[in-house]
Structure 1
Amino acid sequence: MTTTPPERPAAASTAPAGTPPARSPYAVLAVTSLALALVLINGTSINVALPDLSRDFDAPAGVADWFLLAFLLANTASILVFGRISDLVGRRRIYLAGMTAFMVLSVLATIAPDAGTFIAVRALQGVSAATIVANTSALVADAFPEHRLAYGLSLNLTAASVANTAGPTIGGLLVSAAGWQAVFLVNVPFGLAALLLGLRMLPAPRPRTGPRETFDAKGAVLSAAALAALLYGVNRLSTAGPADLGVWALLTAGVLLFVTFGLLERKLEHPLVDLALIRDKGRACAYGAAFFQSFGRAGVTVLVVLQQQIVAARSAAEAGFMGMAMALAMVVATPVSGRLAAVLTARTLTAIGGTLSVVGLVGLALSPATAPLPLTMGWLLLVGAGIGLFTTPNTTAIMRGVPAARRTVANAVRSMLYNSGAALGTSVALLVVSASGIAGYDVQDAGPAVRAAFTVALLVCAAAEAVAFAFGVARGGPWRIRPPVPERPLSGIRGAAT
């Protein structure tokens, strides 16, 4: 049996002229994970600051929703665009420029004079964050050799998942200690560290060879407009109600724009999204699972911290601390999932993870908001364990078998679907809560209508996780990885073919 020799940097004398110096793949992984964690923590830590922001800006629920949604919408709509631009002009350059812009905008958010300006800054932050999200996995894929790529991506994904879930806990501590402004100011020192390390550790772009590809500007505009129409339509439901014709006009326009986008992408030589990626049934199911799993996870992340502050009258720090239960469970479950992948298929692991998430969310929905903290955190532990078991094998199923030249596109589609699911999950969760008639997120209201709204919203998240489970099972294939069967010698077998 042969073994793979340990990785060693190539000698300088054997490198082709113009090739940038090699970087340790783990150094690239550490730098990109730091920046990605910073962006994701900022994106979710503001959940716990929503009551304080609503009070300081005197914003009703329909306006305050956009403190969250402006970032999610702009980020989601920009990921595909910057993924493609980075391939054309250089990943490192776009990544570092986005990190710089993210820090500057974080400072500007703290001095915004009104809600409208704050929302605009948050939208620009979402755009700058897209340059980091779109390039992180591509930079990791560039750094790791083929046989270690899945492992490198799994580590990066673990850091992202934990940061996403731990955001409310960190935000709660910052808000309680120094106000909501601290959520943004903390980005500056950590962002500066990520920027300086990126300048030193990220490899310079390789010289371009071959014909220069074109940028799909029409596809970029159509995809961004479609997402904007859908998200704004869902948000408008909470303020105008289902009788408003503008709501249905926006939702219809969003669907039609997406259909037009799909038809356009099929005709282009260099599309923004290569639709051939979803022709494989297993990958298509993995994409669908990623969308609905993100929908449910984003919804519960915002619902728990709001429910604990509004209904249970707990502090921002206490509400944020509860989200840590999910993060800790994910930290434990993710490496366990990696070890189980040696004997269990992605189908089995996503089925187990989906089941745990659904059970945890249903238990959370049916428990009162004022239940003892250990009970609530127990349900959140189940949800986090389910997410940890689910996410890595599902992402591996997306990336496995994709040619190296198309990995960035495959991951960009995954990121777009993940963020779209998160944006819609957050929108729907807030829609259900605001439909209860609550005056704003800065009030305490334990009335039956508000309690019922949180229950319904959490059950919607459970339904989304159930759909993710269904996609995971529908991919087909075996439940266990079959060990290779040793070949039997042909000698002595009568009639054996030669």
Structure 2
Amino acid sequence: MSGKPHNPYAVLAVTSLALALVLINGTSITVALPALSRDLGAPAGLADWFLLAFMLANTASILVFGRISDLVGRRRIYLLGASAFMVLSVLATVTPDAGTFIAVRALQGVAAATIVANSSALVADAFPEHRLAHGLSLNLTAASVANTVGPTIGGLLVSAFGWQAVFLVNVPFGIAAVLLGWRVLPRPRPRTGRRETFDAKGALLSALALAGLLYGVNRLSTAGPADPLVWVPLAAGGLLLVVFGLLERRLEHPLVDLALVQDKARACAYGAAFFQSFGRAGVTVLVVLQQQIVVGRSAAEAGLTGMVMALAMVIATPLSGRLAGLLTARTLTALGGLLSVVGSVGLAVSPPTLPLAVTMSWLVLVGAGIGLFATPNTAAIMHGVPAERRTVANAVRSMLYNSAAALGTSVVLLVVSASGLGGYDVVDAGPAVQTAFTVALSVCAAADLVAAMFGIARGGPWRVRRVVAERLPEEAAA
């Protein structure tokens, strides 16, 4: 934190701008998959990596940069990553082939990890404890909306200017985020006391474990379960994850403080975040692909279809912050999860050829559920964490969130690819393809149901007790 006063809303605005930029870029490429597949000559299995290379690299890097930021300063790492993200956005537009494009996307994911890992922690530093839930609700509103409007923005840009515009649009907004961040973000105080060491072994183990698990899941969609290269990375990733956990328990200064998950309420909040992200990512990908592949809509039309989901989230997220004075995180996360279940089931059972208003009505429920869920769940994770561990606590949340998004994207694309679909640049309304979308959306609904169950399992009252709300509103929200 800075030694001089700073405006928490200025910090919120800067971090939200950079975070929104990363998330919009991460999801807008979904609607650009058909154009990218055509221009770079990539079949469906290879084109999946236009999405997954970013997600995998981002997820594997978040814990590392979360810890580095706590050691050397959040501001410095944040600004370096934002600058690198802009440069890589330009490089993505001039890549000559699919392999080079995937490599640039992976590097973008690493750069984006510096922003994702630090965003909520910087907001938590800037806002006083009794206003933390409010500050996080605004930050998460920006993040949630960015995640959902990405396909809409991407569709408009692709239709008007080509897929390169999805990346070039990052440059002016990125420059603004870096310049404003240099001016607004608080400079760290000089560290006192014994200097902590960086857990290099843990960083390597966690990155390799996550990479192995996510690669193995994606390999299923291209090679099938008979290929040994599916199970080798899955087994290796699982083994490395166990070794990582055992190592972290023995170290004085671990990459991840396992005490963060010893509290039942926080552990349940982490679990809920994982499964809610799985369902959200799956629905976001499936809706825009279904509208293009099955219904035959343009990229712009498919992107606009998902816009109602974002609008519902815009309304529901701040509403959730206000309801936190009356209802506990247990109630709000359970309610949000169940709303998303209903919306996802509705999308699964409704034929996409029905009037567009039907699809949009189900997307409203999904978006409202996400909006109600996000703020109380994140506040429950961050509440009570010491300032020197906030980036790590948020990095764990972001790692789980991004792992689930990558896993959810891989699983639903696996289901769609299993239908025999040759590529994402075709129109195919055959029964096998339509059934695949129904199954994939049902998987998303199941993930939302598990998220709701985690929200309930955290325990505690359903309503905020008045005396607690008056004295310790931040504890009541948790």
Q: How many angstroms apart in 1 are the aligned matches of 2:2 and 2:153?
A: 41
Paired with 1:19 and 1:82, the residues of 2 have a C-alpha distance of: 20
The separation in 2 between residues aligned to 1:146 and 1:356, in whole angstroms, is 30
Q: Which residue of 2 aligns with 1:205?
A: 188
2:163 aligned with 1:180? yes
Letter of the 1:418 partner, please give it.
Y
Structure 1 residue 217 and structure 2 residue 180: aligned?
A: no
Amino acid at match of 1:61: A
What is residue 230 of structure 2 aligned with on the other side? 247
Structure with higher Rg: it is: 1
The yes-or-no answer on 1:464 pairing with 2:451 is no
CA distance in 2, matches of 1:120, 1:95: 22
Q: Secondary structure at the match of 1:207?
A: coil
CA drift at 1:21: 3.4
% identity of equivalent residues: 82
Report the AA paired with residue 112 of structure 2: A
- The equivalent of 1:24 in structure 2 is 7
2:101 and 2:229 map into 1 onto residues whose CA distance is 25
1:263 to 222, 242, 246: 246
Post-superposition offset of 1:20: 4.2
Cα deviation code 1:276-298 (max 9, x no counterpart): 11111111111000000000000
Give the TM-score normalised by structure 2. 0.96
Which one is further off, 241-250 or 353-362?
A: 241-250
Q: Deviations over 1:114-137 (max 9, x none)?
A: 000000000000000011111112
SS of aligned partner of 2:442: helix
Q: Deviations over 1:31-72 (max 9, x none)?
A: 111000000000000000001001111101110000000000
**Paired residue for 1:4?**
none
Instruction: Determine the structure 1 residue equivalent to 2:415.
Output: 432
- Residues of 2 paired with 1:372 and 1:444: CA distance? 19
Q: SS of the counterpart of 2:306?
A: helix
**Higher deviation after alignment, 267-276 or 203-212:** 203-212
CA distance in 2, matches of 1:348, 1:290: 15
Other-structure match for 2:22: 39
Please give the alpha-carbon distance, in whole angstroms, between the structure 2 residues aligned to 1:205 and 1:75.
25
Aligned to 1:307: 290
Cα distance in 1 between the residues matched to 2:34 and 2:180: 35
| Separation in structure 2 between the aligned mates of residue 478 and residue 204 of structure 1, nearest angstrom | 40
Contact 2:121-2:390 within 8 A present in 1 as well: yes
Cα distance in 1 for residues equivalent to 2:303 and 2:2: 47
SS at match of 1:302: helix
CA distance in structure 2 between the aligned counterparts of 1:25 and 1:460, rounded to whole angstroms: 39
1:170 to 126, 131, 153: 153
Residue in structure 1 matched with residue 316 of structure 2 by the alignment: 333
Distance 1:475 1:216 in 2: 31
Instruction: State the alpha-carbon separation in 2 of the partners of residues 29 and 416 from structure 1.
Output: 21
What stretches of structure 2 of length at least 5 have no aligned partner? 469-478
1:196 aligns with 2:179: yes
Structure 2 residue aligned with 1:233: 216
Structure 2 SS opposite 1:47: coil
Determine the structure 2 residue equivalent to 1:359. Answer: 342
- 1:92 matches 2:54: no
Q: Distance in 2 between matches of 1:121 and 1:321?
A: 28
Q: AA paired with 2:72?
A: V
* Structure 1 unpaired stretches of 5+: 1-17, 486-498
Amino acid at match of 2:174: G
Tell me the residue number matched to 1:369. 352
Contact 1:359 1:382 in 2 (8 A): yes
Offset at residue 406 of structure 1 (A): 2.1
Residues 1:345 and 2:328 are matched in the alignment: yes
Amino acid at match of 1:438: L
Deviations 1:212-259 (A, max 9, x none): 111111111111111111111111111111111221121111111111
Q: Distance between the aligned counterparts of 1:19 and 1:291, measured in 2?
A: 32
Describe the superposition over 1:51-95 as per-residue Cα deviations: whole angstroms up to 9, x where unpaired.
100111110111000000000000011111011111222211111
Q: What's the CA shift for 1:354? A: 1.0
Moved over 3 A (4+): 18-21
Shift of 1:19: 6.4
What's the TM-score, normalizing by structure 1? 0.92
**Is 1:322 the counterpart of 2:305 in the alignment?**
yes
2:462 paired with 1:479: yes
2:70·2:392 contact (CA, 8 Å) conserved in 1? no
Q: Is the 8 A contact 2:337 2:449 kept in 1?
A: yes
Structure 2 counterpart of 1:162, one-letter code: V
Compute the displacement of 1:101 (Å).
0.7
- Contact 1:356 1:383 survives alignment (8 Å): yes
Q: Distance in 2 between matches of 1:386 and 1:143?
A: 28
Residue 19 and residue 322 in structure 1: after superposition, are their counterparts in 2 closer, same or farther (change >3 A)?
closer
Alignment correspondent of 1:126: 109
CA distance in 2 between counterparts of 1:296 and 1:188 reads 30
Superposed CA RMSD: 1.2
Tell which deviates more after alignment, 160-169 or 241-250: 241-250
